[in-house]
Amino acid sequence: MNYYELVFTLTDGEDYQQDLLIDALGGLGFDTFEETEIGFKAYTPAESFDKYKVDEALSEYDDMFTFNYEVNLIPQKNWNEEWESNFQPMQVDGKVRIRATFHPTDPAYPYEIVIDPKMAFGTGHHETTTMMMSHILEADLAGKYVLDMGCGTGILAILASKVGASEIVAIDYDPLSYESTIENSKLNKADNVLAICGSKDVIPDAHFDTILANINRNILLDQMQRYGEVLKPEGTIYFSGFYETPDLDIIKEEAGKHGMNYIEHKKMKDWVAARFVKA
Ligand SMILES: C[S@@+](CC[C@H](N)C(=O)[O-])C[C@H]1O[C@@H](n2cnc3c(N)ncnc32)[C@H](O)[C@@H]1O
């Protein structure tokens, strides 16, 4: 999938300015943001980029503060480039170790995940993945039926399998992520991970005990009703891929409309991974 990269320069560099721009871009389908020294970068799949709409949406801030941006077309960006060129195993909470195929195993960790990320997101190094893994370690997933929405490399589904979930449905709309989940599940002998390629329309009419959804604020809002339909009463849903301010309150409000109530959240940098329970 080709992407457009918008490189923003903010003259005053105030956090709220960046938040306003990111918020507006999120509404236009931008799904990945990266902070830089002088502003931030925003990415969107090439087919959903419309420069006219971006300029129109951002024009309301023209008089409030100074910013500019340049547009780059990124053919099939490898999101894990840095990680791949500098492969270092990482660990979460002293319990899970994530490594590449060529690293030696380390028996000190109860769970080990071998990831070959290729072009998919999910090596454990991103704060949102780390926090989601931490939630999984704290939960009791033994015997649970789990949905991993936006599975990327399949890293969360694989961990859910390792901690004893009975079956995990792992969905991603990106064909390379879907294939990556299949490959990584095999690599980790997680035979109970069922990968499906698609978006909310392919979520089975089932009742999940637990849902893991690390995507981004706008996709989560768009899919919230469906999550409410397929999560069992008293089931738990974990959301990540958004910021504490202003996103968490917006997620709480929308989840509440579909019977899912906020319990707690973890925070790393400004990223959030929140736990909700269905009434
Ligand atoms: C932030 S990554 C999370 C990957 C992995 N679950 C993790 O925690 O590291 C979000 C994933 O959601 C997928 N995604 C984005 N929009 C989606 C949609 N509408 N339906 C399904 N998957 C989507 C992306 O392709 C990407 O793999």
Read off the CATH number of the domain in which 152 is found. 3.40.50.150
Same domain for 216 and 145: yes
- φ and ψ at 259, to 5 degrees? 80, 15
Best residue among 126, 127, 173, 203 to mutate for probing ligand 1, ranked by most atoms within 8 Å of CB: 173
What is the model's pTM? 0.79
Instruction: Answer yes or no: are the C-beta atoms of 85 and 91 closer than 8 Å.
Output: no
Q: pLDDT for 155-194, tens place per residue? A: 999 999 999 999 999 999 988 899 999 999 999 999 999 9
Q: Report the separation in Å between the CA atom of 44 and the middle of ligand 1, taken as the mean of its atom positions.
A: 13
Query: Could you tell me the pLDDT band of residue 12, with boundaries at 50, 70 and 90?
Result: confident
ipTM of the complex: 0.99
- φ and ψ at 69, to 5 degrees? -145, 155
Supply the pLDDT for residue 113: 97
Best residue among 215, 217, 237 to mutate for probing ligand 1, ranked by most atoms within 8 Å of CB: 215
Supply the pLDDT for residue 258: 98
* CA atoms of 276 and 26, how far apart (whole Å): 23
The mean pLDDT value for 241-245 works out to 92
Residue 214 assigned to a binding site: yes
Pairing between β-strand 145-149 and β-strand 208-214 as defined by DSSP bridges: parallel
Residue owning tokens 């918008």:
6
Q: Lay out the sheet containing 90-92: strands in order across.
A: 90-92, 96-99, 111-114
SS3 label, residue 124 = coil
Instruction: Answer yes or no: are the C-beta atoms of 112 and 106 closer than 8 Å.
Output: yes
- The domain total for the chain is 2
Supply the pLDDT for residue 31: 77
C-alpha distances (whole Å) from 42 to each of 6, 10, 48, 74, 206 are: 5, 13, 13, 12, 35
Q: Report the separation in Å between the CA atom of 65 and the middle of ligand 1, taken as the mean of its atom positions.
A: 32
Query: Could you tell me the pLDDT band of residue 103, with boundaries at 50, 70 and 90?
Result: confident
Q: Which of 222, 228, 217, 225 is nearest to 276 (CA)?
A: 228
Last residue within a domain, chosen from 35, 53, 74: 74
Same domain for 52 and 151: no
- φ and ψ at 158, to 5 degrees? -65, -40
Give the residues surrounding ligand 1 with Cβ less than 6 Å away: 31, 120-122, 128-129, 132, 150-152, 155-156, 171-174, 177, 199, 214-215, 219, 241
Q: Which residue has the higher pLDDT, 38 or 157?
A: 157
Q: Is the pLDDT of residue 13 over 70?
A: no
Supply the pLDDT for residue 119: 63
Supply the pLDDT for residue 3: 85
Query: Could you tell me the pLDDT band of residue 80, with boundaries at 50, 70 and 90?
Result: low
Same domain for 274 and 137: yes
Q: Report the separation in Å between the CA atom of 215 and the middle of ligand 1, taken as the mean of its atom positions.
A: 5
Q: Which residue has the higher pLDDT, 167 or 84?
A: 167
Q: Report the separation in Å between the CA atom of 107 and the middle of ligand 1, taken as the mean of its atom positions.
A: 30
| Atom number in ligand 1 closest to CA 157 | 6
Q: Is the pLDDT of residue 125 over 60?
A: yes
The mean pLDDT value for 108-127 works out to 82
The mean pLDDT value for 221-227 works out to 97
* CA atoms of 214 and 262, how far apart (whole Å): 16
Q: Which residue has the higher pLDDT, 23 or 96?
A: 96
Average pLDDT, the chain: 91
225 assigned to some structural domain: yes
| Atom number in ligand 1 closest to CA 151 | 6
Residue 181 assigned to a binding site: no
Domain of 43 in residue numbering reads as: 3-74
- φ and ψ at 260, to 5 degrees? -110, 120
Q: Which residues pair with 260 in a beta bridge?
A: 278
**CATH code, 18:** 3.30.70.980
Residue owning tokens 């009463």:
233
